[in-house]
Structure 1
Amino acid sequence: SWKDPLQCDMEVVSLADNPDFFALSYVWGKDPEDYEILIGGHILQTRPNLYTALRRIRAHTKGATRALWVDALCIDQANTRERNHQVDFMADIYSNCSQCLVWLG
């Protein structure tokens, strides 16, 4: 249901393997990271815009499992080197996804 906690697992894949995944494009916003997502048993704080987008996606897919790439979740934002490296791949990520989902808030 809408109020159930957001939970997901993390998996490392290579674009060279042509994975089937959706990519989410959204506005981060400036609100504080007051919302929780459970990823592989670990709590990650996130901003309300991403939290709401993920809830809407879950409601739309009716709970079906789906691979989803989200920059705030898939890139270690505290690691500048990784973040800069991954930003270089974002065009490849968005051009190779099965579907790009856009959340305007």
Structure 2
Amino acid sequence: MDNNYEYDKIDLDGPAFRLVRLHQGDCGDLSCDLFQAVLHQRDEIIPYEALSYTWGPTGGHHSLVVNDRKMSITANLYLALKSLRYPHSDRILWIDAVCINQSNVKERNHQVAQMSHIYKQASRVIFFLGNATFTTDAFMLFMQLRWRKIWAVAHEKTQALDDVPRQGLKSLLSRPWFRRVWILQEVANAKSAIVCCGNFAIAANIFAIAPIIFGIDPSVHCQSVIDIMPGPWR
């Protein structure tokens, strides 16, 4: 991935890693600061969220301004950052494609080796499923508004539920995110997580019971991912 940004060296003899401070805003260019931190220093490290997403095709024309220098990023990451950027406050994130110098093999291997610790130490993991559609928005909104009545709904006939959010859930379960090799590690190490699609987000433990509510049987692989999402049903 070509970029104009030049990474500072990182200490490869210890648990060093980088974090992104995504600048606030609701329009204009995406920008951030990239700074170094050290794992396992829980009393000193700034709380951060770790992003779990699908890279998608490379070679796009999207860019992120990092420390006043441009970095090329994939369309999927650009979409994720647009959705996750807060309008009035900065957000601290760990993002593999930005925080790791992908052109430095030694650094990449060092960071991959401690990736489970990065996800485990994150205050929250963001499962970003991609772009929103009318049906996925309907599903996410349904779960946001009605989760407190979830068990009452579960005892009703599923046919009584609106078919639009059901189609939205089916669409989300077919997303490439569920088929990524690294998903099981990222999900299993999350102590807390949210599921995001477009501009909507719901707690992972609420998402995990959605197939029961809508009477949907996910594929074996999807169900294995759902089963280890953080929450009382893990």
Aligned-partner Cα distance in 1 for 2:56–2:111: 20
Structure 1's consecutive aligned runs of 4 or more residues displaced over 4 angstroms after TM superposition are: none
Matched, 1:54 2:81: yes
**Identity %, equivalent residues:** 36
Partner secondary structure for residue 67 of structure 1: strand
Quickly say closer, same or farther: Cα 1:63–1:51, change in 2 above 3 A.
farther
Structure scoring higher RCO (CA < 8 A, sep ≥ 6) equals 1
Shift of 1:75: 0.2
Name 1:27's counterpart in structure 2: 54
CA distance in 2 between counterparts of 1:76 and 1:33 reads 18
Say yes or no: does 1:78 pair with 2:103: yes
Using the TM superposition, give the Cα deviation of residue 104 of structure 1 relative to its aligned residue in structure 2, in angstroms: 1.4
- Structure 1, residues 66-105: CA drift from partner, whole Å, max 9, x if none? 2100000000001111111100111000011001001111
Answer yes or no: is the 8 Å Cα contact 2:26–2:87 preserved in 1.
Answer: no
- Taking structure 1 as the reference length, the TM-score comes to 0.91
Q: Which residue is 1:63 aligned to?
A: 88
CA–CA distance in 1 between the matches of 2:117 and 2:60? 28
Number of residues paired by the alignment?
103
Deviation at residue 2 of structure 1 after TM alignment: 4.4
More helix by share: 2
TM-score (normalised: structure 2): 0.42
1:17 corresponds to which of 41, 45, 48: 41
For 2:36, the aligned partner's letter is: V
Q: Between 12-21 and 89-98, report the one with greater CA deviation.
A: 12-21
Q: Which residue, out of 68, 84, 88, partners 1:41?
A: 68
* Gaps in structure 1 of 5+ consecutive residues: none
* CA–CA distance in structure 2, aligned partners of residues 92 and 65 of structure 1: 24
3-state SS, counterpart of residue 50 of structure 1: helix
5+ unaligned residues in a row in structure 2: which ranges? 1-24, 131-234
